[in-house]
Amino acid sequence: MKPVHIGPSVLRDVLEHARRTVPEECCGLLLGTANRIETAYPARNVFRSQTRFQVHPADHFAAIRLARAEGRAVVGAYHSHPKSSPRPSLTDEEEAVDTEFWYLIVSPAMAETRAYRLIEGSLVEVELHVVEGEIDSSDRAGT
């Protein structure tokens, strides 16, 4: 499976969001194109939980509108595991439904982020390829 390309600022933004929300899980959406994650869009966690998340519907619609306005799409979601490793939990596995989505899990305790794709009902780790510098529209052509 091809790696997902991501800008370093996206990884920083996701980690900072996770650190701000400890001890609760943070969540958000990922904007970009096919194999490129270009922006992290922070969202409110409806559950306000240390072990579960759900993106607030108003934030989800706002992210969709922003992505469309910029010629991009919502290509994934992220959330944190405040006290554990960035590996999918049983709940993460059960609630993942979109085989076209990138799923990022961040651990603020470990300062680590991992990417996953839903393949045959399981979240399978995918290489995160950090693009030096930022991803811009001229980089999209190579997708």
Block residue for tokens 């091809």: 2
In DSSP terms, 113 is beta-bridged to 106
- Answer whether residue 141 is part of any domain: no
- Answer whether residue 140 is part of any domain: no
CATH assignment of the domain containing 130: 3.40.140.10
Q: Range of 27's domain? A: 4-135
Token pair listed for 120 = 């045959």
Edge-first strand order for the sheet with 36-43 is: 122-126, 112-119, 102-107, 73-80, 27-33, 36-43, 4-6, 128-130
pTM (predicted TM-score): 0.92
First-to-last CA distance in the chain? 14
- pLDDT tens-digit series, residues 12-57: 999 999 999 999 999 999 999 989 999 999 999 999 999 999 999 9
Token pair listed for 99 = 């085989």
Please give the pLDDT value at position 101: 96
What total number of domains does the chain contain?
1
- pLDDT tens-digit series, residues 86-113: 999 999 999 999 999 999 999 999 999 9
- Answer whether residue 143 is part of any domain: no
